[in-house]
A and B are shown apart, each in its own frame.
Chain A
Amino acid sequence: MSAESTMVALSEGATQAMTTTLFLIVVAITLGITVWASRNTKGAADYYAAGRNISGVQNGLAISGDYMSAASFLGISGAIALYGYDGFLYSIGFLVAWLVALLLVAELLRNSGRYTMADQLAYRMRQTPVRTAAATSTVVVSIFYLLAQMVGAGTLVALLLGVSSEGIQNLTIIGVGALMIIYVVFGGMKGTTWVQIVKAVLLMTGTVLITVLVLAKFNFNLSDLLGTAGDKYAATDAAKEAGKDAAAFLEPGLQYGATTTAKINFISLGLALVLGTAGLPHILIRFYTVPTSRDARTSVMWAIALIGTFYLMTLVLGFGAAALVEEEGQAAIVKSTGNLASPLLAEAVGGGPGSAGGAILLALISAVAFATILAVVAGLTLTSASSVAHDLYGSVFRKGEATGDEEVKVARIAALVIGAVAIGLAIPSKGLNIAFLVALAFAVAASANLPSLIYNLFWRRFNTRGATWAIYGGLVMCVGLVFFSPVVSGAETGTALFPESDWSYFPLSNPGIVSIPFGFLMGYLGTITSRDDVAEKRYNELEVRSLTGAGSEQAVVH
């Protein structure tokens, strides 16, 4: 990141001091929650699932806190600020996806599982193969997602503190990594849940505030806001070069409309967004924290209301940033690939660079973004650690003989190891595009996890081989296609990891349109080429349990 020149204007000493203070307050609050949670965590159900004592409304907030990542808050508004309407697809896909979770997954999963995504498969399949497969894809999805957040944290903090040295970015990544390890090792699911709830409240408050301030500048006339954003875009060099007018900024196609390949890429991205959410392990395990399936439904209803409102506001933030941030700030937004749009918009509506109001709002929104990142990385680390401890250690390695306390001990060690690995991977990945990493996590979740989840709940004949083929097939196809895509090699995109050599045989940077059907196909083929009498026989049991909650895991009474 070479943003030194543009950062001079932003990095008023006062803003820096205020930002640092607010960051430390966020850290203090979250560590306080962790201490409280660690005193109230006794046993495996507490550690993995917060004792299933989280209410529907609380869980709805926590889900929102887990889901609205830095990629949403900074990434979507940034994409809209740079590409106009095309950035809106993310908001819509990320929201509609919740209907898949609500109608097909949330309640059934709450009734049939215990602690991890794999539980629900293991209910009627052979433990070792399905748990190994599910744990593998859980860790892969979570690591991609984790990398995105940590890289984002490094970039953001360095830019906001006005120091763009690599050392500061590395230090931030290590700091965020250390905090998330502390939350997860000591706070477990209770601590993580409350960190996410606090973050959701902070994020919604901050976003509402900025949205109202932006709209007030246009007398609450959306059409005026859009018109100004379009005119500002038309005046940029990028627009003149591409021969685009103001209206083009408000229409689909600016980012994805140039060629047929780009259009198919857009559809592929749309598929991964809408089908990925219900296969994200860190979202799925949140459904285990409520006492009943009815509470799982309530939590998704709240999540849809909060997330939907939030994404509507990102539209205002994105177009607002395009319309209101002055020239120097616009250059900084472009350099940060959009990630600085929201913080700089906050500064602009507060009175602009140098003003007290601008400094306060910039510091406030930066602290919100920081809290956002912390809450999401905690959820991801907990998910991976739980899967390693419960699926791999408890079931595969100890064949179900491990006690809850032994599993929790392993989960804590796993959190430490996964956190360290994530730090180790994030430092050399600093140059990767955050939105790309998140879209990849969604594509893997949709290709590897969703097919086996849906088949298992709705298809009696589905069996162990089908489940493992679906998971490994979807996973390998998805990651493989990305490896052979223009994102990784070749000079086409200008941002590839290996621009010198070219093995980009697959033209799309979003693999979903191929890998998601492939995951479903492999699940089908694996199933029809083998028989698993136990799995078919126990389907009745799974069906009764998932639909009625009969015999499902109960809340812990303290």
Chain B
Amino acid sequence: MTEPETNHQLYEDLHASEDFQELRRKFRSFVVPWTVAFLAWYLLYVVMSSFAGDFMSTKVVGNINVALIFGLLQFASTFAIARIYSSYANRRLDPIAARLQRGFDEDGTR
């Protein structure tokens, strides 16, 4: 829509390149399992809050119970996964993407 028609072939060529297939594989093999994992971890928390009240209300230290710690762990895991993704993308994905983008700009009709 926003590209001149002449770029179609260029995109197809890039898509077929080994670099792109590697980028695609590295991206998907990271985001799919991690998404499944954090959603499952979150749903476990929500379901246990509803149906495992006795366990969640166990006191650990003073007035701090399992439910609170579980909730705070959701914060910790969110911060951690964001960091892990960011450093993975910086190290493993960005260099390949930059290479492909350079290829596009050099061969492009723009």
Binding site for B on A (CB under 8 A): 85, 88-89, 91-93, 95-96, 98-100, 102-104, 107, 114, 119, 122-123, 127, 222-224, 226-227, 230, 247, 250-253, 256-257, 263-264, 266-267, 270-271, 274, 293-294, 297, 300-301, 304-305, 308, 311-312, 400, 540-541, 543-545, 547-551, 553
Contact = CB atoms under 8 A, between A and B. Distances in A.
B65 to A, nearest CB: 6
Given A92-B71, A543-B15, A548-B20, A266 B50 contact: yes
Contacts of B23: 547-548
A266 to B, nearest CB: 5
Given A224-B62, A263-B50, A544-B14, 9 more contacts: A96-B42, A98-B78, A103-B35, A251-B65, A252-B67, A253-B49, A304-B78, A543-B24, A550-B103
A250 B14 contact: no
28 contacts: A88-B68, A89-B49, A93-B46, A96-B38, A103-B34, A103-B85, A104-B31, A123-B1, A127-B1, A223-B62, A224-B63, A227-B62, A247-B65, A251-B57, A253-B50, A266-B49, A274-B39, A294-B94, A304-B79, A305-B79, A308-B79, A311-B75, A541-B15, A544-B20, A545-B11, A547-B97, A548-B23, A550-B11
A251 B60 CA distance: 13
A91 to B, nearest CB: 8
B46 A541 contact: no
B62 to A, nearest CB: 3
A222 B75 contact: no
Interface of B: 1-3, 7-8, 11-12, 14-15, 20, 23-24, 27, 30-31, 34-35, 38-39, 42-43, 45-47, 49-51, 53, 56-57, 59, 61-65, 67-68, 71-72, 74-75, 78-79, 81-83, 85-86, 89, 94, 96-97, 100-101, 103-105, 108, 110
Nearest to A112: B2
A226 B61 CA distance: 12
Contacts of B79: 304-305, 308
A367 B39 CA distance: 37
